[in-house]
Amino acid sequence: MTTCKHRLRAFTIVETMVALVLTALAISFVYAAIRYVQRQRDTLSGQLDRYGEFNRLHGALQADADDADEIRYNADGIDFYRDHRAIQYLVSDSLCIRHEGIVADTFRIRVDSVGCWFAGQRLETAGQLADQGVLSVAIADRPLTITVSKWYDAATLIQLTQPTE
């Protein structure tokens, strides 16, 4: 019987299989973690888009209120007037549309209700002068409120509230 004096040092098949199983487990954990992070990113991205739309609508409403000479309530939304130019916000259950002449901008946001007030009194009739407008909206079934205000100086207020002859 002869023995080999030069034995090669190597891993056994069992050691190799254990290493492959551990590597496969580590890779599967890393893959699961990456999928979890991607799902969270997609969820947050959707929420940011919805809240971004809310912020865009709020910014447009407040900018139009700041630039307007007067705000008037209409049955379907709010109108802003400046120098014989009208900007209308028309609302539906799933959209808010901003009309300025032939240009329209659409906000994909659900508006539940629109209310306008003048001197603390809620307006019920279309065409009345308003100093505050409130849109009740819903984002991901969470109710939020957008409030825009307009401060009139005394001369403008007298001119706008005088009955026309």
Tell me what pLDDT residue 11 has: 80
Residue 122 CA to chain centroid, in angstroms? 27
What are the C-alpha distances in Å from 16 to residues 9, 26, 127? 14, 15, 82
Residue 1 has pLDDT above 60, yes or no: no
Q: Name residue 85's beta-bridge partners.
A: 82
Tell me, what's the pLDDT at 3? 65
Percent pLDDT > 90 in the chain is 32
CA distance 159 to 155: 6
Per-residue pLDDT tens over the stretch 57-105:
999 999 999 898 889 998 888 999 988 889 999 988 788 899 998 898 9
**pLDDT for res 6:** 73
Using the predicted structure, report yes or no on whether residue 159 has a pLDDT greater than 80: no
Measured CA to CA, the distance from residue 144 to residue 68 in angstroms comes to: 24
Which has the closest alpha carbon to 156: 88, 68, 89? 68
What is the per-residue pLDDT for 22?
95
Q: Contact at 8 Å (CB) between 107 and 135? A: no
Mean local confidence (pLDDT), 27-44: 94
User: Is residue 147's pLDDT more than 80?
Assistant: yes
Question: For residue 7, what pLDDT band results from cuts at 50, 70 and 90?
Answer: confident
Domain residue limits, the chain: 31-161
Task: Name the pLDDT band for 126 (thresholds 50, 70, 90).
Answer: confident
Tens digit of each residue's pLDDT (9 = 90 or more) over 109-121: 888 888 899 888 8
Residue 50: C-alpha distances to residues 4, 56, 137 (Å): 75, 10, 11
